[in-house]
Amino acid sequence: MPERPQALFAMTAENVPLVFPPEVLARLRESVDIDPGLVAEDLTDPALADVLARTEILVTGWGCPRLDAAVLDAAPKLRAVLHSAGSVKGFATPEIWRRGIAVSSAAEANAVPVAEYTLAVILLAGKDVFVRRERLRVERASPGWGIVLGIGNHGRRVGVIGASRIGRKVIELLRPFDLSVSLTDPYVEESAAAELGVPLLPLDELLRTSEIVTVHAPETPETRHLIGRRELALMPDGAVLVNTARGALVDTDALVAELRSGRLSAVLDVTDPEPLPADSPLHELPGAFVTPHLAGSQGNELARLGLAVVAEAERVVSGAGVAFPVTFEALERGA
């Protein structure tokens, strides 16, 4: 049996057994020599010098320390960084790509539960579940059985902002339903949107014509407050804004003003700031349904992230290269 390459966990130690439960860890250790009891939360720790010098594969995750030139100098054999979460922006430096080290992310795996959450809330929002549940909770009186006009998902217009991994998965998950879905993304050509099966619209037109708008753009300086007072005003009366991306993409003050008027409602899994202050009006406004950043991988979904790393490790060891590479250019534009 060929010798397995040395690997090292670099993340918050408490996350290792969550992302790599026993069955996932066992499969990982078939490909690489990695000690789950040795987790690097500080890669400059002298006690790690020997193992770091032999490390060929770094398995990173939430809490990974910064991989700067000094750290990389201490790991001369490093050839792959396999991230068991989404964005690598918090720890990756340009020096990694300069040295030709492969970088992979489990963002594709993490997109699955976010898209599933989004699908669920879109369908529930189409039935006006969130606002009507709040009304029932406050009034404690059911209006009784009867036809409720203006709700339902037959032909409801849904606008997707951003053809990110998650945005594309949302479009895919929405396909079996009788919805009218459109997309806006400045980096997508009409031909690419056609391949996704949706029309490509300018942002303003998408906002004007969508009854539910779901946000899946990355957070960059250009996208901060992408949805502000002017953009919210374009949305039709009774429309719903869904945000599972980043809180800063939406101007919170402008959204609160619209929610207070009762003209719009919102489903927010991310907020700005995050977490919300205890006195935030979003806690009380009946048109705001706020969840505490639950859409991404949670609970048993974390093992999917570990499995994504295992698959990448197997590819690296076989010489095939990573399936989900992160390029420096994509890093600058992505989340």
Q: Would you please indicate which residues are annotated as catalytic (active-site) residues? A: 246, 274, 293
How many CB atoms neighbour CB 114 within 10 A? 25
Q: 11, 61 in Cβ contact below 8 A?
A: yes
Phi/psi at 25 (nearest 5 deg)? -60, -40
Distance CA 89, CA 95 (A): 13
Which pair of tokens denotes residue 305? 């992230």
Which pair of tokens denotes residue 204? 């303003």
Q: In what order do the strands lie in the sheet with 240-243?
A: 180-184, 157-161, 212-215, 240-243, 265-268, 288-290
Q: 79, 104 in Cβ contact below 8 A?
A: no
Q: Which of 212, 232, 236 is nearest to 125 (CA)?
A: 212
